[in-house]
Amino acid sequence: MAASGAVACLVPGSNYFLGKSYPPARRLLDAGAVVALATDFNPGTCPCWDMRAIMSIACTQMKMTPAEALVAATVNGAHAVGLGRTHGTLEPGKVADLVCHDAEDWRELAYYFSAPRTRWTMKKGEVVSRRGT
């Protein structure tokens, strides 16, 4: 898979909800594969839309590091859907789709997975929601 240029899209929330074994993220990463994380939000197999929870599962159950989970949830996810040139990282010229969380350290994103910590959300450079609004 690493040589193919494909992105392994893992949806560990579905495995959690259905009580299934988790995808082999560590094995894929160690073999050089590109891994993306997604919620697979749907009422039948994954009623979870919180990417922090998905990142937490990836770290605690699939042995990804917080850095690997963050990259998988952002830039690798953008590449998986063909938007890597315009989305997924904070760079001049890229689309500013951002979520700001209350955190002392970026690694808290996967650690505090159940508390509401979103401060604001930005879509295409415009704040579209703020805590309390």
The pLDDT value recorded for residue 133 is 59
CA distances (Å), origin 48, targets 13, 44, 63, 79, 115: 7, 11, 20, 22, 14
Q: Is 65 exposed, middle or buried (0-12, 13-18, 19+ CB in 10 A)?
A: middle
Nearest to 121 by CA among 103, 133, 113: 133
The pLDDT value recorded for residue 78 is 97
pLDDT tens, position by position, for the chain (133 residues)?
888 889 999 999 999 999 999 999 999 999 999 999 999 999 999 999 999 999 999 999 999 999 999 999 999 999 999 999 999 999 999 999 999 998 899 999 889 877 778 899 999 999 999 987 5
Q: Cα 87 to chain center, whole Å?
A: 13
Nearest to 95 by CA among 103, 87, 104, 85: 87
Domains and CATH numbers, the chain: 2-130 (3.20.20.140)
